[in-house]
Amino acid sequence: MPRWDWLIVGAGFTGAVLAERIASQLDQSVLVIDRRGHIAGNAYDSPENGLLVHRYGPHIFHTNSERVWTYLSRFTTWRPYFHHVLGMVDGRHVPIPFNLNSILALFPPRMADRLCETLVDRFGFGQKVPILKLRAEADSELRFLADYVYANVFEGYTLKQWGMRPEDLAPSVTARVPVFVSRDDRYFQDRYQAMPRDGYTALFKRLLDHPRITVELNTEYKDAAPAVRHDRTVFTGPIDEFFDFAEGPLPYRSIRFERRREARTDGLPVGTVNYPNEFDFTRISDQRHLSGRPDAEPLLITEYPEPYTLGVNEPYYPIPSTATADLLNRYLTTAATLEGRVFFAGRLGDYAYYNMDQACARALALFEKRIAPLAAGGLAACQTERNLIAFSG
């Protein structure tokens, strides 16, 4: 039976980047397993009717990290893509994040001009203001705007998406979609915004295409680990599941994705339309835009957020909040005792709300700061051992 230097659990961004680094930089053998029947984790896409369909919801690559961009560019070329999101507010489609154009579209002209001016004067043009910060403003016009945006854009969406009110989530979550004092209608403003030209799955195939890497799909960690001879583990699944929920379960949010082909309609005008107030779903995305094929037949994916239940659906989102910080810390403390033998990383392994570039950056940093030095230490130890043998011989 073969012996592996590393067992990596999860073939998403975190697991695949670490496998590539360990194999190519340390020349060590890696077995990557995933309980799903495909690589690429939540970024998985597959061709259908000329589109690249994102099975787990729209995935737009965006980053300010030149390092991550340069690293991933070795495994893919890119198609520039600027994601646009509209929100259905008071019966109109307005840009999300809520910005100066949204104000101009929703309020009577003189009132809209005054609100825009007050916002620019208070925060400066181009600034992003978290909604909870805007709500704390004393100025009566800003308070009016803040209450309007809170009630019409944030409150209902957050309740549907998280099952919680904005105030009960970690501020980092609500700050992800700020009020934007700008007329830039793009959803992201990062320096690099693009889609892998041949899709994410093709990018992952290239990441994992190394003679020292073996991939086994439909393989559950708990079933496989006892039979797989390996020295060290990287675990990118849920950290509480690894420890058999010894401290209690961490909360996650799941989503049900519903797909519809719309041969007889024009589809959506942009990549995604949000519904903060109406219906049970949060948003609909049109895969034509994500695939760069606005001429193709629309393929709509609707997202219904739902509670996560082990064995029933997927833990897509950790729910960072002050209420779970202690529980998470207990798991992280136990995890630290395994350092050197088992490493936890990724959106589920770190229990952190990472975007793809952040998962990639975290994997690169883990490799450089912990894994590569460990291997160098191992080599040094081997050499010392060899020298001792030589002396004693």
Ligand X SMILES: Cc1cc2nc3c(=O)[nH]c(=O)nc-3n(C[C@H](O)[C@H](O)[C@H](O)COP(=O)(O)OP(=O)(O)OC[C@H]3O[C@@H](n4cnc5c(N)ncnc54)[C@H](O)[C@@H]3O)c2cc1C
- Min separation Cβ 103 and ligand X, Å: 26
What DSSP assignment string belongs to 146-166? HHHHIIIIIHHHHHHHHSS-G
For the chain, percent helix, then strand, then coil, each to nearest 5?
40, 25, 35
**Is residue 21 within the footprint of ligand X (CB under 6 A)?**
no
Which of 19, 60, 68, 239 is in the footprint of ligand X by CB under 6 A?
A: 60
Which of 7, 43, 116, 366 is in the footprint of ligand X by CB under 6 A?
A: 43
- Min separation Cβ 385 and ligand X, Å: 34
- Which residue stretch of 35-43, 73-81, 100-108, 205-213 sits at the interface with ligand X (rule: CB under 6 A)? 35-43
Instruction: Show the binding pattern over residues 138-167: x = contacts ligand X (CB under 6 A), - = does not.
Output: ------------------------------
Task: Extract the tokens encoding 384.
Answer: 């010392």
Contacts with ligand X by CB under 6 A: the residue count is 33
- Orientation angle between helical segments 200-207 and 13-26, nearest 10 degrees: 30
Instruction: Show the binding pattern over residues 211-230: x = contacts ligand X (CB under 6 A), - = does not.
Output: ---------xx---------
Which of 346, 361, 366, 371 is in the footprint of ligand X by CB under 6 A?
A: 346
- Which residue stretch of 139-147, 168-176, 209-217, 355-363 sits at the interface with ligand X (rule: CB under 6 A)? 355-363
- Min separation Cβ 391 and ligand X, Å: 45
Which of 4, 7, 12, 23 is in the footprint of ligand X by CB under 6 A?
A: 12
**Is residue 42 within the footprint of ligand X (CB under 6 A)?**
yes
Nearer to ligand X (CB atom), residue 180 or residue 221: 221
What DSSP assignment string belongs to 276-326? SSSSS--EEEEHHHHTT-TTSPPEEEEEEEEE--TTTS---EE---HHHHH
**Is residue 134 within the footprint of ligand X (CB under 6 A)?**
no
Task: Extract the tokens encoding 186.
Answer: 């793009």
Sequence-distant (6+) residues with CB within 8 A of 386 are: none
**Is residue 171 within the footprint of ligand X (CB under 6 A)?**
no
- What's 99's DSSP letter? B
Exposure of 5 in the CB half-sphere (CA atoms within 13 A): 16
Nearer to ligand X (CB atom), residue 249 or residue 377: 249
Which of 154, 157, 180, 316 is in the footprint of ligand X by CB under 6 A?
A: 316
Give Cα 269 distance to the centre of its chain: 24
Nearer to ligand X (CB atom), residue 36 or residue 330: 36
- Min separation Cβ 117 and ligand X, Å: 33
**Is residue 237 within the footprint of ligand X (CB under 6 A)?**
yes
Nearer to ligand X (CB atom), residue 78 or residue 107: 78
- Min separation Cβ 33 and ligand X, Å: 5
Give the residue carrying structure tokens 């803040």.
146
Report whether 63 contacts 78 (CB < 8 A): no
Which of 76, 193, 236, 272 is in the footprint of ligand X by CB under 6 A?
A: 236
- Min separation Cβ 141 and ligand X, Å: 34
Nearer to ligand X (CB atom), residue 137 or residue 241: 241
Instruction: Show the binding pattern over residues 93-112: x = contacts ligand X (CB under 6 A), - = does not.
Output: --------------------
Q: Tell me how far apart the alpha carbons of residues 253 and 351 are, in angstroms, rounded to a whole number.
A: 12
Q: Tell me how far apart the alpha carbons of residues 347 and 275 are, in angstroms, rounded to a whole number.
A: 26
Instruction: Show the binding pattern over residues 251-270: x = contacts ligand X (CB under 6 A), - = does not.
Output: ----x---------------
Sheet containing 3-9: give its strands across: 213-216, 30-33, 3-9, 229-235, 342-344
**Number of other residues whose CB lies within 10 A of the CB of residue 211:** 8
Element (H, E) at 69: helix 66-72
Report whether 83 contacts 186 (CB < 8 A): yes
- Min separation Cβ 363 and ligand X, Å: 8
- Min separation Cβ 377 and ligand X, Å: 26
Q: Tell me how far apart the alpha carbons of residues 347 and 59 are, in angstroms, rounded to a whole number.
A: 15
Q: Tell me how far apart the alpha carbons of residues 347 and 357 are, in angstroms, rounded to a whole number.
A: 11
Exposure of 386 in the CB half-sphere (CA atoms within 13 A): 6
Q: Which residues bind ligand X (CB under 6 A)?
A: 9-15, 33-36, 41-43, 56-60, 220-221, 236-237, 255, 316, 346-348, 354-357, 359
